[in-house]
Structure 1
Amino acid sequence: MSHPLYVAFIWHQHQPLYKSRISGRYLLPWVRLHGTKDYLDLILILSRYPKLHQTVNLVPSLILQIQDYVAGTALDPYLTAALTPEENLSEQQRWFIIEHFFDAHQRTMITPHPRYDELYQQRQTNGPVWCWEHWTPQDYSDLLAWHNLAWIDPLFWDEPEIAQWFAQGQHFSLSDRQRIIAKQRQILSEIIPQHKKMQLAGQIEITTTPYTHPILPLLADTQAGRVAVPQMALPQARFQYPEDVRRHLSRAVHFYKQTFDCKPRGLWPSEQSVSPAILPMVAEHGFNWLCSDEAVLGWTKHHFFHRDEAGNVIAPEVLYQPYRLETESGDLAIVFRDHRLSDLIGFTYSSMEPDVAAQDLIKHLDAIATKLKANQGDDGTTLEQPWLVTIALDGENCWEFYREDGLPFLEALYSRLNARQDIKLVTVSEYLNQFSPRETIPVQALHSGSWIDGNFTTWIGEPIKNKAWNLLKAARDTLAQHPEATEKTNPGAWEALYAAEGSDWFWWFGEGHSSNQDAMFDQLFREHLAALYQALDEPIPDILRHPLEQHTPTADYPPQGFIHPVIDGYGNEQDWNHAGRISVGGARGTMHRSGPVQRLWYGVDHLNFYLRFDLQAGQTLGAGDCQELHFLWFYPHQTMHNSPIPLADLPNQAPLNYLFHHHVCLNLGTGKTIFQEAMPNSQWQSQAHSITYALESCLEVAVPWQNLPNIHPDWQLQLVVLLANQGTYREYFPEHHLIPLTVP
């Protein structure tokens, strides 16, 4: 029997609990704003293609907050400001508006709207103080209106009332803003009914997550952190409450039944984190399947997923199938997502033309099918086994980087898939109803890890993360000492515990992830714990009254995620938000104090690696003594030709005396770019390239991965940057070390 290539898209919709359990007010607006822009339109676009089936995960803590906004019982500071008469705004509110009402992606959500962009440019050019001194009440009113209009999904822009607001453009009144907020509530009110309707029709499957999105393996036992990282520094107090795993699962199932009038079949474990200890509890709560990441499967089977130069898995049979887990409480199926395909949608396709991006994804699916057919060994032209490609990712945050919130991309992708007979989009349960897993993973053999490198270091192991776990453990122990405080007699204490056990607080503590609202996440975590003590009539520890860490930007840090900058020489702050940063000028000694470069930014996506050079005040590149910028890199642990840096007067010191494989020279005086590859006998050979750069207020450079055809995903590279003039060395940075990058 022949089969199409089955593909399961799983969209994960999640927001942490933003409601302060002390004040009862919401501190951040992201459920309301993402609810207006991201949850409803995603499935409405899909509904235009009934043949295509998908899975959507709705986290209980998200649904609870949507319900609060629909009921009108949720109020956040952004909403309060928007509903305040502009002439009555307090000084504190005016500063808050200037600082936060441009919280949107500039290129896709601000620049397309002239009045919004005008106000943004005033703040960027003149600064917040100028806005404070010069903005009129009407300016504030227009900004309050546009921040909310910009978060309305383009799918709804042709509705008469919304179209009228966009045509109006400015001179918004309080009445206009009230009607805009009412429209938000209307969109929010349709999210759950539309999901329910499409699940009943069989086009989508709705899955759930443990109640407030906790890392279940760490609730069961924080020792699980040492499975992947044996030397991990763990919290002083071992957190070991497997009963909390059961509570989160039980509440998720109960809440799902109340919301959708049926039982959930699938579980998205928070952060795709799994361990042997949680599996029997997942099975005993009636779940049939769960999903995780290819990194967990790789650790489990001691298999590294090598990819070819196009990024396609070389051994597809290992990844593209569900596995059986036999537990004492019943069998589970588990699917593992293709990490790279998921990341292409999440982080890369937004910077490509929609048609090109859609065709690229389908090209990858075709390559998977071709490889599977070739591996059958019978020269067949059809698939003899029912393989399943799982693409699973965040279903909300990526779209603001796409044109029109992803609508052109999704239309291009779905129209192509709708026309294909050899690719079939299915829900996970739909597939499992027809095809049982062919292979079994012994439960104790399943790796304990998450989607991030197959470990838990994002949530535990750093001093500040461990400090937070110690505080959580102390609060949980206090609750355990009050047996009279049951969920029925003291629901406030338990709800506060569940909120504090969520994964998001630990995500933002420490290194690796940062936002302009880190302090607010710190505050919410502490307030959830404080509310637990308050509900038990216990004294609130003084430590919970103060921030757990100083939320000030560090000078240097590694990349925090993919970046997709537009190479125009202006260094847009949002474009480089997740890039790594290295201080150069004024931080490294006499040589660098006099050099033109002050700071170096670096990062990658699946298309390019990127460099940005911020200049010292009054300095420039391409003139005087520094007309050439060279950067060279090699691939550690890979056997290949390498050659020395081709510059005169080069000091004989590390890393300048290292050998390198690739070399780029930007002659900023003539505008000429040279790209070279090392050859035998320490020679260099020029290669064709599509490297781009722009020099205005800063220098931005993009080096396409396609110019490196023999370099494979997950390879490491190490890079150094040099300034020169007419082939003669002048200086280099970063001093005494190399810039590390990973090929995605």
Structure 2
Amino acid sequence: MAKVRLAFLWHMHQPLYRAPETGEFLLPWVRLHATRAYYDMAWMLERHPAIRCTVNFTPVLMEQLEAYARGEARDRFLDLSRKRARELLPEERQAVLRSFFMIDWETVVKPMPRYWELLQKRGRDVRYLDLARVASGFSEAELADLQVLFNLGWFGFGAVEDDPGLAALRAKGRGYTEADLDYVLAAQRRVVGEIAPRWRALSERGQVELSSTPYYHPILPLVCDTDSARRALPHLPLPPRFAWPEDARWHVREAIASHERHFGARPAGMWPAEGSVSPEALELLASEGVRWAATDEGVLLHSLPEGTPRPRALYRPWRVQAGARELPMLFRDRGLSDLIGFSYQRTGAAEAAADFTSHLAAIGEAWEDDGQPGPATVGVFLDGENPWEHFQGSGRDFLEALYRRLESSPDLATATLTEATAGAPGPVIPRIHSGSWIEASYRIWMGHEEDRRAWTALGRAREALARVEAAPAPSVTREAIALAHRHLYAAEGSDWYWWYGDDFHTELAVEFDGLFRSYVIAACQLIGAPLPIEALEPIKRAELPAGAEAQPLREPTLLITPTIDGRETTYFEWQGGGVYRPGQARGSMFGGAQAFEALRYGFDLGHLYLRLDPVESPQRATEACSAVRVELLATGVQAQVDFTPACDGVERPGRRDGAPLGRAAFARVMELALPFAELGLAPGERVALALHVLRGGVELERLPRAGYVTLTVPDQDFERIHWRV
């Protein structure tokens, strides 16, 4: 009997990109992800029939895939691709150069010499380019190659393996003809049309369970009642109350109907958008016949008595009270899920697969040693599309190695979510915590002033629609009211609020903001209602430069000499030091910190001091990582010093090339000291700093996530220069 039952849930989702005024799709990501992840993931499972899993397709994604498959959808990127290079107008040439490098440069552009050559010619940072001048220097042949390479580069391994014509075009590399471009675009449409039938076949043969999400991917608890955000964050400022549970029910019912249309059967379960749950949301799901739901371990631990052991709570299904009913649930192992989503892309495929299965084996052994009944049930739920852009070969080698190891191990078995939640034992969780898979709260979608302006605009429009429904004017038709509802349902989707605020960055923030406001405005225009003032001007503030992610929240202003004991010895010992907290440089996915949430740093004249604050507890941090590597770069200096995190308060030396250097202690926090002289760093020298959190040979996280924190080795004048009242 297997010791571990692994339940994968791969989540496939894209927001609605169709502009309500024109029907044009503003962004191409549905079409392009179809040629990679949606096709590749099915292709790989077809070759590994022993792997059982759940794949979650959102209805709004399926709606758009269907439009592309029928040839009814067009997007701006597709229009630019179809137009012959010789016919491109000057502004269209600029648009091609701006947009057709929106793909991972390391894994796609650099391995294709011609693509890399064209990127170097254009320049890396489009913000600082005179695109009109640059575009005038591109020949028709170069633009034609770029049109092909962008669309061809988005194809994953499955489609290229199945289509010798695509493989030949990859090998050709340059000098593409108009016939080559036509072939690539025709292959795109063919692949898009195969997505739903391919997944339906995997479902019908019993290998894959297909699940769904409320229709437009809303944060269901907030649609039920935005005041529920204060359960996790009592002091969170809120917009005027938005409480439309009937809208939430529409999202659930329509999702079930859409799933049945596309896949031939009702979904047994649902992944609520962003794992967002509340007592009201679960009651709604259960009342509509949903038979299981899932979310993150943080929600589980907040729903159980304080001090409940994490392993004993996490690695089993639960029954949760959902109004008068009970709803089976499984909860996500955050660390294992994030390893695939964020860490393994930088690790060799065989090593990553071995690391993952070793964690599963350790969970199984611990579960058995604890005397728990049956196998440990491990939920690994993550984005099924975005990670593969950042893996070499779109993740083919990793998935192949992982599935082979899972198939060959007698101690590991895979299961669907229906299988994993079947027969969930008691006791019943009486009240689920109101939160999501990010921070066990709804802060991402409600925590910033921009979020609240968007919710206010949506609320004004929704109230206006309710008034019109109650007393419709003769000029407002039933069809107009129905379409206005549809626009506002789309505006309730979570994706708009994801990009508001400063947690995440995208080059396309203006487009997302414009789409959200266009749905609100279009709904009001249909019913003759006043337009919300919040929707009449951009809600999204100007984006910070891409490099700003690596800037500290506070730079050092005083010399400090903290005691290296792993404790906050006094309140003042780190006052005057610098602080860095990671932002989210990768926009479309959230990678929660696994071990440490903040880096504090400072110095006296002899030493650099670092402090790492754990995300949850010191014990959890040491479970997550086995080493902390300090990387320091300066003119003539490239140093890496490794420290072992052990939360016992004992001072230990670091190691540089095997020799002792520096010292560290970890009790409540991890404190480190590194001598400038032994590192070869002189006063006045500029130093770039990064910390790498490792488990074995796998990098779990990096502080900062991109770039380096920079500092200057202090001299005797440091405090005089930085003195202030």
Per the shorter chain, which TM-score range? 0.7 to 0.9
Q: Work out the CA distance in 1 between the residues paired with 2:722 and 2:494.
A: 37
Larger helix fraction of residues: 2
> What letter matches 1:339 in structure 2?
R
Alignment of 1:256-295 (within 5 A): 256-295=259-298
Residue 609 (structure 2) aligns with: 632
Q: Work out the CA distance in 2 between the residues paired with 1:639 and 1:448.
A: 26
Do 2:552 and 2:709's aligned partners in 1 also have CA atoms closer than 8 Å?
Answer: no
Do 1:266 and 1:289's aligned partners in 2 also have CA atoms closer than 8 Å?
Answer: yes
Q: Work out the CA distance in 1 between the residues paired with 2:61 and 2:104.
A: 22
> What letter matches 1:157 in structure 2?
V
Q: Provide Cα deviations, 1:435-488, integer angstroms capped at 9, x if missing partner.
A: 33333101xx21000011100110013211111111000010111112257986
Q: Work out the CA distance in 2 between the residues paired with 1:454 and 1:234.
A: 17
Q: Work out the CA distance in 2 between the residues paired with 1:291 and 1:28.
A: 30
In the TM superposition, what is the alpha-carbon distance from 1:216 to its structure 2 partner?
0.6
In the TM superposition, what is the alpha-carbon distance from 1:177 to its structure 2 partner?
1.6
Is the partner of 1:481 in helix, strand or coil?
Answer: helix
Alignment of 1:284-363 (within 5 A): 284-303=287-306, 315-363=310-358
In the TM superposition, what is the alpha-carbon distance from 1:44 to its structure 2 partner?
1.5
Is residue 361 of structure 2 the alignment partner of residue 394 of structure 1? no
Is the partner of 1:458 in helix, strand or coil?
Answer: helix
Is residue 425 of structure 2 the alignment partner of residue 437 of structure 1? yes
Q: Work out the CA distance in 1 between the residues paired with 2:22 and 2:297.
A: 42
Alignment of 1:429-578 (within 5 A): 429-433=418-422, 435-442=423-430, 445-483=431-469, 490-541=481-532, 543-553=534-544
Q: Provide Cα deviations, 1:544-597, integer angstroms capped at 9, x if missing partner.
A: 33211322316996xxxxxxxxxxxxxxxxxxxxx4324999x999xxxxxxxx
Residue 21 (structure 1) aligns with: 20
Matched pairs, number: 644
Residue 78 (structure 1) aligns with: 77
Q: Judging changes above 3 Å, is the alpha-carbon distance between structure 1 residues 459 and 664 closer, same or farther for their aligned structure 2 residues?
A: closer
User: Identity over aligned residues, as a percent?
Assistant: 32
Q: Work out the CA distance in 2 between the residues paired with 1:678 and 1:38.
A: 37
Q: Provide Cα deviations, 1:157-186, integer angstroms capped at 9, x if missing partner.
A: 232110221122222233322221110111
> What letter matches 2:181 in structure 1?
R
Is residue 160 of structure 2 the alignment partner of residue 157 of structure 1? yes
Do 2:35 and 2:159's aligned partners in 1 also have CA atoms closer than 8 Å?
Answer: no
Is the partner of 2:237 in helix, strand or coil?
Answer: coil
Residue 204 (structure 2) aligns with: 200
Is the partner of 2:23 in helix, strand or coil?
Answer: coil
Q: Work out the CA distance in 2 between the residues paired with 1:103 and 1:290.
A: 34
Q: Work out the CA distance in 1 between the residues paired with 2:382 and 2:649.
A: 47
> What letter matches 2:609 in structure 1?
L
> What letter matches 2:485 in structure 1?
W
> What letter matches 1:196 in structure 2?
R
Is residue 82 of structure 2 the alignment partner of residue 94 of structure 1? no
Q: Work out the CA distance in 1 between the residues paired with 2:164 and 2:223.
A: 50
Q: Work out the CA distance in 2 between the residues paired with 1:664 and 1:176.
A: 46
Q: Work out the CA distance in 1 between the residues paired with 2:400 and 2:645.
A: 44
TM-score if structure 1 supplies the norm length? 0.78
Is the partner of 1:687 in helix, strand or coil?
Answer: strand
> What letter matches 1:76 in structure 2?
D
Residue 220 (structure 2) aligns with: 216
Do 2:461 and 2:532's aligned partners in 1 also have CA atoms closer than 8 Å?
Answer: no
Do 2:279 and 2:323's aligned partners in 1 also have CA atoms closer than 8 Å?
Answer: no
Is residue 655 of structure 2 the alignment partner of residue 687 of structure 1? yes
Q: Work out the CA distance in 2 between the residues paired with 1:736 and 1:209.
A: 55
Q: Judging changes above 3 Å, is the alpha-carbon distance between structure 1 residues 5 and 490 closer, same or farther for their aligned structure 2 residues?
A: same
Do 1:18 and 1:27's aligned partners in 2 also have CA atoms closer than 8 Å?
Answer: yes
Q: Work out the CA distance in 1 between the residues paired with 2:353 and 2:215.
A: 34
Do 2:445 and 2:494's aligned partners in 1 also have CA atoms closer than 8 Å?
Answer: yes
Residue 180 (structure 2) aligns with: 176
Residue 668 (structure 2) aligns with: none
Residue 139 (structure 1) aligns with: 142
Unaligned runs of 5+ in 2: 559-578, 584-590, 620-627, 660-678
Q: Work out the CA distance in 1 between the residues paired with 2:402 and 2:534.
A: 51
Q: Work out the CA distance in 1 between the residues paired with 2:279 and 2:328.
A: 14
Residue 417 (structure 1) aligns with: 406
> What letter matches 1:178 in structure 2?
D
Unaligned runs of 5+ in 1: 306-313, 377-382, 558-578, 590-598, 613-625, 641-660, 738-744
Q: Work out the CA distance in 2 between the residues paired with 1:601 and 1:230.
A: 23
> What letter matches 1:581 in structure 2?
Q
Q: Judging changes above 3 Å, is the alpha-carbon distance between structure 1 residues 556 and 227 closer, same or farther for their aligned structure 2 residues?
A: farther
2:363 aligned residue (364, 368, 371):
368
> What letter matches 1:20 in structure 2?
A
Q: Provide Cα deviations, 1:400-450, integer angstroms capped at 9, x if missing partner.
A: 1101000000000001111012110000112334x33333101xx210000
Do 2:4 and 2:413's aligned partners in 1 also have CA atoms closer than 8 Å?
Answer: yes
Q: Work out the CA distance in 2 between the residues paired with 1:676 and 1:36.
A: 43
> What letter matches 1:360 in structure 2?
D
Do 1:322 and 1:333's aligned partners in 2 also have CA atoms closer than 8 Å?
Answer: yes
Q: Judging changes above 3 Å, is the alpha-carbon distance between structure 1 residues 713 and 90 closer, same or farther for their aligned structure 2 residues?
A: closer
Alignment of 1:631-670 (within 5 A): 631-635=608-612, 668-669=635-636
Is the partner of 1:440 in helix, strand or coil?
Answer: coil
Do 1:29 and 1:76's aligned partners in 2 also have CA atoms closer than 8 Å?
Answer: yes
Do 1:555 and 1:583's aligned partners in 2 also have CA atoms closer than 8 Å?
Answer: no
Is the partner of 2:505 in helix, strand or coil?
Answer: coil
Is the partner of 1:360 in helix, strand or coil?
Answer: helix
In the TM superposition, what is the alpha-carbon distance from 1:303 to its structure 2 partner?
4.2
Is the partner of 1:181 in helix, strand or coil?
Answer: helix
Do 1:608 and 1:702's aligned partners in 2 also have CA atoms closer than 8 Å?
Answer: no
Q: Work out the CA distance in 2 between the residues paired with 1:455 and 1:150.
A: 37
2:550 aligned residue (572, 580, 595):
580
Q: Provide Cα deviations, 1:602-629, integer angstroms capped at 9, x if missing partner.
A: 78998999999xxxxxxxxxxxxx9x99
Q: Judging changes above 3 Å, is the alpha-carbon distance between structure 1 residues 600 and 683 closer, same or farther for their aligned structure 2 residues?
A: closer
Q: Work out the CA distance in 2 between the residues paired with 1:715 and 1:610.
A: 9
Q: Provide Cα deviations, 1:85-121, integer angstroms capped at 9, x if missing partner.
A: 2122122211111111100010101111111111011
Residue 64 (structure 1) aligns with: 63
Residue 247 (structure 1) aligns with: 250
Q: Judging changes above 3 Å, is the alpha-carbon distance between structure 1 residues 465 and 459 closer, same or farther for their aligned structure 2 residues?
A: same
